[in-house]
Amino acid sequence: MDKFEINGGATLRGTIEVSGAKNVAMKVILAGLLTDEPLIVHNIPLISSVYGTAEIVKPLGIDVKIQKKDHTLIIRGDRVSKYSVPLELGGRFRTATMTMGPLLSRFG
């Protein structure tokens, strides 16, 4: 584990920017299956897990846009019409199993 050792009596000042959490970002994408309202989330980490989760929900009718320049995620679930994740995506990404709850809630 990394550590910071601070010597001296000076007060620390400054700011840091905390990156968004991968697991939260992936669940927000899946939450797009539950609503017809657009979801806009800022500070999304631009990593493969987030992109993979976006790929899982697109065939179901979710429109996902990830704006790289400002790490913003825009999700529109008003066109969800399918409830089956394609096998090739389901086998590639573990988050595919997390679509079951929202899809069951939406389609019954």
CATH number of the structural domain spanning residue 43: 3.65.10.10
Indicate whether 47 belongs to any domain: yes
Q: What is the pTM of this model?
A: 0.78
Indicate whether 2 belongs to any domain: no
pLDDT at 92: 85
User: Contact, 79 vs 46, CB < 8 A?
Assistant: no
Indicate whether 80 belongs to any domain: yes
What span, in angstroms and rounded, lies between the C-alpha atoms of 44 and 36?
21
Contacts of 97 (CB under 8 A, 6+ apart): 90
User: DSSP letters of 62-94?
Assistant: -EEEEETTTTEEEEE-TT-------HHHHTT-G
Give every residue of the chain whose pLDDT is below 50, as ranges: none
Contacts of 34 (CB under 8 A, 6+ apart): 77, 102, 105, 106
Indicate whether 73 belongs to any domain: yes
pLDDT at 36: 92
